[in-house]
């Protein structure tokens, strides 16, 4: 604009200047004016063109700046050898327990001991398992996950160590290695994400807390808008209800299906049915016979277990930040058929073998309500049904029921109440009261204080 004014001024000056040639005629003057007019038009056209070019350049500069901003915004990946470090997280946990009964020699009455670390744990202050989790993608096809559990007695256990497929497609996922089985609802969850200090009695009695196996798993997610997952596992059978042994082939197999979905924006649910089959050989457990001698008995035969699980979650409009409610329940039914060998070490009345058959069940229901941000309260009721246990050696009169006190008829039960406070997503403090009647003739009133904290990679919000 400024330039245009300058030129106009120049033209005016030129016109206004006294002409050296007074003799110049009017026609000459008019011609001169026309030429000037033409020049003016030409200049204006060139100025317009220049302005257009400037505008264009400015636009391009804007775009370049935007691009530069975008490039600058892209996170710069870490350089050097540690650029491919996996995600690492560590769970720290500890408890204080006040128990009215001595926890030493704890065993659930009426049920073959599952061999896991069951029961309320130690009195007083004690460290819980510290869990180290390392996970990352291995290559485009596989992801690896490793969970190491360091127990308070300084023993280290590989809790999970598996590879999982990423690229099978069609809803298929394969897993291999050591992993928690996909049966039931709670089984796959690590102890730090439990809603109570301990696992439900049914999990303690039937799985020794959790069914973890060495093997392979194949899961298929149906291509439907309703969630339907079907899975199968073949495994070694190294842990209860199986038994580790020297054998080719597989020792344990599972089959499970889960169905789930939403009801409106506020409700979500999942239900499932699972089957676990194994054939333990010489699955040993310790008991005290009628003479008061510690004996080792062993079961060989077939073990079959059905699980039904259900979980229902509510949060107002699906926003679980302030308040939410979770109701869940699982039912277990196990039948075992085979032979029971009494006193395998011939430490008391002499080794003897007879038939053994049992049909036992158990269940729990729990509700956990977050009544305000950070604060939750929960109730759980556990019940086991001793059912029927037929011991051939007792039926034939060779031995008496008093020689198998742990297998005596009893229906264990337990009620737990907990309140926990989670100042952030990564820390939780818990208070729990329980009345535990899992041992015949004993009522254990329990009080727990617990902390669970996680550091490192962000944990997952599993359903």
CA distance 282 to 262: 46
**Binding string, residues 8-47; x marks residues near other proteins by CB under 8 A:** ----------------------------------------
Closest distance to other proteins from the beta carbon of 156 (Å): 26
Residue nearer to other proteins on the CB measure, 182 or 200: 182
User: Which of 236, 258, 334, 380 contacts other proteins by CB under 8 A?
Assistant: 258
Asked if residue 218 lies in contact with residue 174, where contact means CB atoms within 8 angstroms, the answer is yes
CA distance 452 to 130: 10
Closest distance to other proteins from the beta carbon of 63 (Å): 11
Asked if residue 447 lies in contact with residue 77, where contact means CB atoms within 8 angstroms, the answer is no
Residue nearer to other proteins on the CB measure, 279 or 297: 279
Residue nearer to other proteins on the CB measure, 85 or 293: 85
Residue nearer to other proteins on the CB measure, 101 or 320: 320
Closest distance to other proteins from the beta carbon of 431 (Å): 20
CA distance 89 to 133: 5
User: Which of 94, 103, 261, 390 contacts other proteins by CB under 8 A?
Assistant: 261
Closest distance to other proteins from the beta carbon of 429 (Å): 15
Closest distance to other proteins from the beta carbon of 374 (Å): 6
Closest distance to other proteins from the beta carbon of 160 (Å): 14
User: Which of 170, 246, 248, 350 contacts other proteins by CB under 8 A?
Assistant: 170
Residue nearer to other proteins on the CB measure, 229 or 403: 229
Query: Exposure string (b/e) for 264-276, b if CB count within 10 Å is 16 or more?
Result: eeeebbbebbbeb
Closest distance to other proteins from the beta carbon of 88 (Å): 14
124 forms beta bridges with: 97
**Sequence-ordered alpha helix ranges (H) in 78-234:** 201-207
DSSP secondary structure, 202-266, as one string = HHHHHHTT--EEEEEEEEEE-SSSSEEEEEEEEE---STTS---S-SS-SEEEEEEEEEEEETTT
333 binds other proteins (CB under 8 A): no
Range 184-223, binding other proteins (CB under 8 A): 219-223
Q: Cβ atoms within 10 A of the Cβ of 226, count?
A: 9
Closest distance to other proteins from the beta carbon of 357 (Å): 17
Measured on CA atoms in the order 368, 204, 410, 432, is the torsion positive or negative? Answer: negative
- The alpha carbon torsion through 341, 342, 347, 348 (nearest 10 deg) reads -150
| Part in contact with other proteins (CB under 8 A); list of ranges 11-19, 116-124, 264-272, 390-398 | 264-272
DSSP secondary structure, 34-78, as one string = HHHHHHHHHHHHHHHHHHHHHHHHHHHHHHHHHHHHHHHHSPPPP
| Tokens found for residue 191 | 């102890």
Residue nearer to other proteins on the CB measure, 7 or 275: 275
User: Which of 12, 14, 56, 265 contacts other proteins by CB under 8 A?
Assistant: 265
Q: Could you tell me how far CA 424 lies from the centroid of its own chain?
A: 18
321 binds other proteins (CB under 8 A): yes
Asked if residue 272 lies in contact with residue 256, where contact means CB atoms within 8 angstroms, the answer is yes
Residue nearer to other proteins on the CB measure, 96 or 375: 375
Is it true that the peptide bond before 127 is cis, omega within 30 degrees of 0? Answer: no
User: Which of 115, 144, 152, 260 contacts other proteins by CB under 8 A?
Assistant: 260
Closest distance to other proteins from the beta carbon of 73 (Å): 5
Query: Exposure string (b/e) for 98-114, b if CB count within 10 Å is 16 or more?
Result: ebeeeeeebbbbbbbbb
**Binding string, residues 275-314; x marks residues near other proteins by CB under 8 A:** x-x--------------------------x--------x-
- Regarding beta strands 124-127 and 87-99, do their DSSP bridges make them parallel or antiparallel, or are they unpaired? antiparallel
DSSP symbol at 19:
P
> Residue 12: CB partners within 8 Å, gap ≥ 6?
none
**Binding string, residues 416-455; x marks residues near other proteins by CB under 8 A:** -------xxxx----------------------------x
Nearest CA to 450 out of 92, 138, 135 is that of: 92
Closest distance to other proteins from the beta carbon of 376 (Å): 14
CA distance 84 to 88: 12
137 forms beta bridges with: 143
| Part in contact with other proteins (CB under 8 A); list of ranges 26-34, 35-43, 151-159, 250-258 | 250-258
User: Which of 47, 168, 355, 449 contacts other proteins by CB under 8 A?
Assistant: 168
Asked if residue 94 lies in contact with residue 450, where contact means CB atoms within 8 angstroms, the answer is yes
63 binds other proteins (CB under 8 A): no
**Binding string, residues 363-392; x marks residues near other proteins by CB under 8 A:** ----------xx------------------
Q: Which residues bind other proteins (CB under 8 A)?
A: 66, 69-70, 72-75, 143, 164, 166-173, 219-230, 255, 257-262, 265, 268-270, 273, 275, 277, 304, 313, 317-322, 373-374, 423-426, 455, 458-463
């Amino acid at each position: 604009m400024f330039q245009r004014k300058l030129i106009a001024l120049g033209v005016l000056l030129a016109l206004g200047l006294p002409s050296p040639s007074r003799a110049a005629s009017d026609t000459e003057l008019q011609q001169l004016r026309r030429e000037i007019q033409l020049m003016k038009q030409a200049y204006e056209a060139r100025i317009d063109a220049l302005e257009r070019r400037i505008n264009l350049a400015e636009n391009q500069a804007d775009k370049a700046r935007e691009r530069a901003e975008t490039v600058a915004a892209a996170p710069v990946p870490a350089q050097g050898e540690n650029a491919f470090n996996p995600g690492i997280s560590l769970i720290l946990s500890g408890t204080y327990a006040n128990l009215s009964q001595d926890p030493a020699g704890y065993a659930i009455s009426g049920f073959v001991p599952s061999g896991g670390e069951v029961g309320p744990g130690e009195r007083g202050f004690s460290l819980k398992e510290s869990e180290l989790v390392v996970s990352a993608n291995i290559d485009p096809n596989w992801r690896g996950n490793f969970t190491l559990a360091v127990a308070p007695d300084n023993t280290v256990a590989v809790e999970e160590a598996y590879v999982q497929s990423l690229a099978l497609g069609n809803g298929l996922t394969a897993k291999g290695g050591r992993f928690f089985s996909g049966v039931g609802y709670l089984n796959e969850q690590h102890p730090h994400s439990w809603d109570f200090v301990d696992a439900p009695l049914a999990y303690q009695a039937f799985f020794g807390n959790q069914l973890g196996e060495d093997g392979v798993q194949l899961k298929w997610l149906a291509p439907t808008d309703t969630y339907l997952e079907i899975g199968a596992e073949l495994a070694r059978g190294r842990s209860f209800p199986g038994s580790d042994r020297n054998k080719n082939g597989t020792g344990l197999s599972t089959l499970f299906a889960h169905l789930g979905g939403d009801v409106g924006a506020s409700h979500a649910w999942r239900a499932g049915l699972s089957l676990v089959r194994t054939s333990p050989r010489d699955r040993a457990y310790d008991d005290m016979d009628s003479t008061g001698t510690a004996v080792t008995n062993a079961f060989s035969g077939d073990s079959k277990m059905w699980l039904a699980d259900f979980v229902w979650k509510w949060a107002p409009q699906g926003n679980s930040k302030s308040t939410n409610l979770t109701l869940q329940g699982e039912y277990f039914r196990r039948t075992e058929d085979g032979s029971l060998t009494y006193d395998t070490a011939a430490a008391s009345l002499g080794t003897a073998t007879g038939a053994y058959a049992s049909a036992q069940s158990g269940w729990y229901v729990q509700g956990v309500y977050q009544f305000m941000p950070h604060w939750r309260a929960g109730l759980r009721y556990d019940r086991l049904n001793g059912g029927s246990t037929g011991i051939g050696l007792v039926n034939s009169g060779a031995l008496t029921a008093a020689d198998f006190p742990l297998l005596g008829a009893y229906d264990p039960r337990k009620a737990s109440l907990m309140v926990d406070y989670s100042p952030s997503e990564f820390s939780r403090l818990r208070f729990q009261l329980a009345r535990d009647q899992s041992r015949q003739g004993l009522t254990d009133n329990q009080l727990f204080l617990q902390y669970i904290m996680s550091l490192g990679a962000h944990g997952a919000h599993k359903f």
